[in-house]
Structure 1
Amino acid sequence: MRSQRDKYPIRLLCRVAMVSPSGFYSWLKAPEDALMSRSESLRKAIRFYHQRSSGVYGYRKIHKDIIEETTLRCCRETVRRAMKSDGLRSKVTRKHRYPANIEQIPRAAPNVLARDFTAATPDQKWTADITYLWTNEGWLYLAVVLDLFSRRVVGWAMSERADAHLACQALEAAIQLRRPGLGLLHHSDQGCQYTSGAFSAVLDQYGIVCSMSRRGNCWDNAVTESFFSKLKREWVRGKRYRTRNDARQDIFLYLEAFYNRKRRHAFLGYQSPEAFEQLFYQAKQKQAA
């Protein structure tokens, strides 16, 4: 403002900068050391409120904290510039979008599952989806396959790329582990990974029936969405992964050591997925005997 005051009216400059004319003139009259002290106080306050929010807040919310909780007075733009200068930013990014292959021909399937999330036996209905986890090295993508009978994670894969290969890896891991019979129903969303030719080929190879959610309707795949919510709320929240390998090891512990084998599930009568399946097979053996 000081450099532009000869070109534009002071009131106009103050309106743009969201400061009062009296505040601007007071700033002009202030000694240089006082200005430096105020600037440092403001930077300390910005760092404090950014850290207090665990890096979640951007400049708008930090400005609000400063105005309401301190005697410092500044405009949003000042806070934004100071944060940029100090390398501070909100860790909350805009809605994540998976990279898509624009040359791919979508192969969407009807919603055969139709929100019937029950199954009478294991390996009758599977659901699948992909989520993402942040590490200091970048995104790590996790693809899972759930059995609706026991809510067990029967297949999973992790990669730094959210492509069809990742979805295929998770499905093939589930197939190798469970050896399902023909007619298994596989349900997913209409993501490019699941509408790809490569994924369709795996389904066809093993005689698996394909079902997909309606476009933009997350409730059609609610069980898998709920699983990802549990993973992030119970296990990932508050953690900062230094490398993708650190994240892989930690997620493996959740999937195989905790969720499948120990975590009590309300839908299963507060049994773990593994215990629920064991009871099913034990009862089946008794019936056969």
Structure 2
Amino acid sequence: MKKYSQERKDMILQLVATGKPVAEISREYGIAEQTIYKWKKSNTPVTGSSLTPAQIKQMEKEMTRLRQENEILKKANGYIHEVNLYSKILFIENESNEYPTRMLLRVMEVAPSTYYKELKHTPSQRELENERIDKAILSIYTDSKKRYGAWKIHHQLIEQGFDLSIKRVQKRMRLLGIHSITVKKYHPTKASKERVEERTNLLNQDFSTTSINQKWAADITYISTAKDGWTYLASVIDLYSKKIIGYTYAKQMTTEIVMNALESAIQNQQPTDGLIIQTDLGSQYTSSDFEEAMRTNKITHSYSRKGTPYDNSCIESFHAALKKEEVYQTTYHSYEEAKLELFQYIEGWYNRKRIHGAIGYLTPQQAEDQARQHAQ
């Protein structure tokens, strides 16, 4: 039976508390529904209530309405004021099976008369085909939270059975007024942090692998919050699958956070001998505690050279994607709020949903699963 950390349980229960369906959480995070219900039951306090049944029913109705409107706003983020009427109507049609049409019209700021007038229009065959493509594009784009550009959307459309060129996808996206929030590839810059003396760089920018748990990389990135100031995310990535296999988020940048991230990766992956991990020369990674952990777990430590960020570009590229796709798109009011959002991004999106061209347009989880199957 698979074991889950208390922190992971807490994150899942926070998602349950937001009103998100357990079935959806189960699909997104790969945890059985009955397991989530078991956690929920064991963490539900017994409380009394002085409210009447009618008041409780009305409160539940209002909470449902607010939750649905909030879900629509999140899905339609950027559509309400930035995208043309045609896109709004397509969005409403796509979501009309899940939410009341009147609610969608109100949230999307579309007059009912305008909407129903558009529905009465008799489209040509070409218009019908474009509408089908546009709906699929918007669905993929919305599901990716605006993170996918034309190439990844095109790949997803082909997977769904569409027969169209990348140029047509690009044209439809221009007409819809949508584009990826990731506007450029990651280009590392020289770090300004103080470094210790040079140490052995075994990888020397050779990131090639034939399976999982051969080469890992680790690094720390900074994340700002309004209430708690700077916070820190320490991550470990597998260079074969591109999966974030361990991470720790904390208010202080200490050796403990890189140790916890490493321990999490080891517990999750159970690597065998021969593993190499690449890090920079930061004090956390050159500490005696971290070096002892390397020896204890029979992991070989490789170090980036001073002023050569490409030596650890795999993990830095992940942090760049995290910043562009998640961190720079919102304002975190507190450490606790950021922690839940980062959990959803890493566990629910990056590892399990985000496809990567470098691994054949698979998700990191799919790449890992295939590697484990081939190893059997």
TM-score, structure 2 as length reference:
0.47
Q: Pick from 101, 114, 117: which aligns with 2:207? A: 117
| Structure 2 Cα separation of the partners of residues 260 and 267 of structure 1 | 14
Could you tell me how far 1:182 is from its partner in structure 2? 2.0
Q: Name the SS for the 1:168 alignment partner.
A: helix
Q: Note the alpha carbon deviations across 1:137-173, whole angstroms, 9 max, x for none.
A: 1111000000001011011001111111111110011
Of residues 134, 148, 152, the one that matches 2:239 is 148
Equivalence for 1:278: 369
The equivalent position to 1:263 in structure 2, one of 348, 354, 358, is 354
- 1:186·1:208 contact (CA, 8 Å) conserved in 2? yes
Counterpart of 2:304? 213
* 1:194 corresponds to 2:285: yes
The answer as to 2:279 corresponding to 1:185 is no
Deviation at 1:284, TM superposition (A): 3.6
Residues 276 and 300, structure 2, Cα contact 8 Å, conserved in 1: yes
Q: CA deviation at 1:107?
A: 7.6
**TM-score, scaled relative to structure 1:** 0.61
Q: Which runs of 4+ in 1 moved over 6 A?
A: 95-98
**Secondary structure at 1:237's aligned position in 2?**
helix
CA RMSD of aligned residues (A): 2.0
1:282 aligns to what SS in structure 2?
helix
Rounded Cα–Cα distance in structure 2 between residues aligned with 1:130 and 1:186:
14
- Give the counterpart letter for 2:355 in structure 1: R
1:54-65 alignment to 2 at 5 Å? none
Kindly state the Cα deviation for residue 195 of structure 1 after the two structures are TM-superposed.
Answer: 0.6
Instruction: Give CA deviations for 1:3-25 in whole Å, capped at 9, x if unaligned.
Output: xxxxxxxxxxxxxxxxxxxxxxx
Aligned to 2:224: 134
Letter in 2 for 1:123: N
Conservation of the 8 A alpha-carbon contact between 2:233 and 2:248: yes
One of 235, 248, 252 as aligned partner of 2:326: 235
With over 3 angstroms needed to count, the CA separation of the structure-2 counterparts of 1:155 and 1:108, relative to structure 1, is farther
Q: Which runs of 5+ in 1 are unaligned?
A: 1-94
**Secondary structure at 1:191's aligned position in 2?**
coil
- Larger Rg, first or second structure (1 or 2): 1
Letter in 1 for 2:221: T
Q: Distance in 2 between matches of 1:205 and 1:258?
A: 33
After the TM superposition, which of the residue ranges 273-282 and 157-166 deviates more from structure 2? Answer: 273-282
Shift of 1:230: 0.4
Contact 1:107–1:196 (8 Å) recurs in 2: no
* Equivalent-residue separation in structure 2 for 1:208 and 1:107 (angstroms): 21
In structure 2, stretches of 5+ residues that fail to align are: 1-189
Partner-residue secondary structure (3-state), 1:277: helix
| Distance in 1 separating the partners of 2:261 and 2:312 | 17
| Corresponding residue pairs, total | 186
Give the residue type in structure 2 aligned to 1:188.
T
Q: CA deviation at 1:108?
A: 5.5
Higher helix fraction: Structure 1 or Structure 2?
2
Kept in 2: contact 1:107–1:197 (CA 8 A)? no
Task: Give the structure 2 partner of residue 203 of structure 1.
Answer: 294
> Once the 2 structures are TM-superposed, how far is the Cα of residue 279 of structure 1 from its aligned partner?
2.0
Q: Distance in 2 between matches of 1:159 and 1:183?
A: 30
Contact 1:107–1:195 under 8 Å retained in 2: no
